A and B are shown apart, each in its own frame.
Chain A
Amino acid sequence: MIHVGLWLPLLAGLVLLIMPGLGRGFAIASAAISLGISLVLFAGYGGQGVAYASQTPFLPEAGVYYALGLDGAGLLLWIAVSLVVLLGVWIADVPVRFLAYTLMMQTGLLGIFAAQDLIFFYFFFEATLIPSLLMLWFYGGADRLRAIYTFALFTLVGSLPMLAAIFAVRFLGGADSFLYTDLAANPLTGQTASLAFLGFMVALAVKTPLFPLHAWLPSFHQQNHPSGLADAMGTLYKVGIFAFFKWAIPLMPDGLREWQGLLLFLAAFGAIYAAWVAFSAPDWKTLLAYAGVSHMGVAALGLFSGNGEGTVGALYLLGASMVYGSAMFLFIGLVYKRTGSLETSPVRGLAKHAPALYVLGMFLLMAMIGLPGLSGFPGELMALLGAYKVSPWLTFVAFLAVIAAAAYALTAFQKLFQENTQAQAVPDLDTREWGFAAVTVAVLLLMGLYPKLFTLYLEPLGKALAALFGGAS
Chain B
Amino acid sequence: MQETLFLPLIIALPLLGFVILGLSGKRIGEPAAGWLASLLVLGSFLLGLVLLLQGGARWTLAEWLPGIPFSLNLDNLSGVMLMVVAGVGFLIHVWAIGYMHGDPGYSRFFSYFNLFIAAMLVLILGDSLPVVFIGWEGVGLASYLLIGFWYQERVNADSARKAFIVNRIGDLGFLLAMGLLWSMFGTLSISELVEKVEAGGYSFTTLTLAGFFLLIGAIGKSAQVPLTVWLPDAMAGPTPVSALIHAATMVTAGVYLLVRHAFILHGDGFLAGLIVTVGLLTAFYGALCSLGQWDIKRIVAYTTLSQLGFMFVAVGVGAYWVAIFHIVTHAFFKALMFMTSGSVIHALGGEQDVRQMGGMRKYLPATHLHGLVATFASGGLVPLAGFWSKDAILAYSFEFGPWLWVLMLGASVLAALYSIRWYVLVFWGEYRGRSPSGRTNAHAPGGKAHPHESPAVMLWPNHILMGGALGVGFMGLPYVIDYKNFIEPYLTKAIGDFPHEKLPVVTEWVLIIISAVVAIAALWWGFRFFQQQMPAWYERFQTAALQGFYADAVYNALLVNPAKGLAELLFVGDKGLLTGFAGLGSLMGGLGGLLAKLETGALRFYLAGLLLALVLLLGWGVLR
Contact = CB atoms under 8 A, between A and B. Distances in A.
Contact of A359 (B22, B67, B152, B175): B22
Interface in A347-392: 349, 351-352, 359, 362, 366, 371-373, 377-378, 381-382, 384-385, 387-389, 392
Contacts of A216: 578
B392 interface: no
B176 interface: yes
Interface in B123-142: 130, 133-134, 136-138, 141
B168 A384 contact: no
Contact of A410 (B153, B161, B169): B161
Given A366-B141, A418-B152, A276 B570 contact: yes
Contacts of A456: 63
A389 B134 contact: no
B539 interface: no
Interface residues of A, number: 61
A407 interface: yes
Contacts of A362: 145
Contacts of B578: 150, 215-216, 218-219
Q: Which of B64, B65, B138, B179 has the most CB of A within 10 A?
A: B65
Interface stretch (B37-45, B292-300, B560-568, B592-600): B560-568
A416 to B, nearest CB: 11
Contacts, number: 147
Interface in B172-225: 172, 175-176, 178-180, 182-183, 188
A395 interface: yes
Is chain B's binding surface mostly helix, strand, loop or mixed? helix
A19 B106 CA distance: 52
Contact of A276 (B64, B136, B178, B567): B567
Interface in A382-435: 382, 384-385, 387-389, 392, 395-396, 399-400, 402-403, 406-407, 410-411, 414, 417-421
A396 B176 contact: yes
A312 B134 contact: no
A203 B138 CA distance: 39
B577 A418 contact: no
A219 B151 CA distance: 33
Interface string A150-179: 100110000000000000000000000000
Given A384-B179, A411-B161, A309 B577 contact: no
B161 to A, nearest CB: 5
A399 B153 CA distance: 31
A455 B574 contact: no
A462 B132 CA distance: 25
B581 A215 contact: yes
Given A277-B567, A378-B65, A410 B164 contact: yes
24 contacts: A150-B581, A215-B578, A276-B566, A276-B567, A276-B570, A277-B570, A280-B567, A309-B66, A349-B152, A362-B145, A371-B141, A372-B134, A377-B130, A381-B133, A381-B178, A389-B179, A392-B183, A395-B179, A399-B172, A403-B169, A421-B152, A452-B64, A452-B65, A459-B66
Interface of B: 22, 61, 63-67, 130, 133-134, 136-138, 141, 144-145, 148, 151-154, 157-158, 161, 164-165, 168-169, 171-172, 175-176, 178-180, 182-183, 188, 563-564, 566-568, 570-571, 574, 577-578, 581-582, 585
List 4 tightest A-B contacts by C-beta distance, closest first.
A388-B179, A418-B151, A280-B571, A279-B567
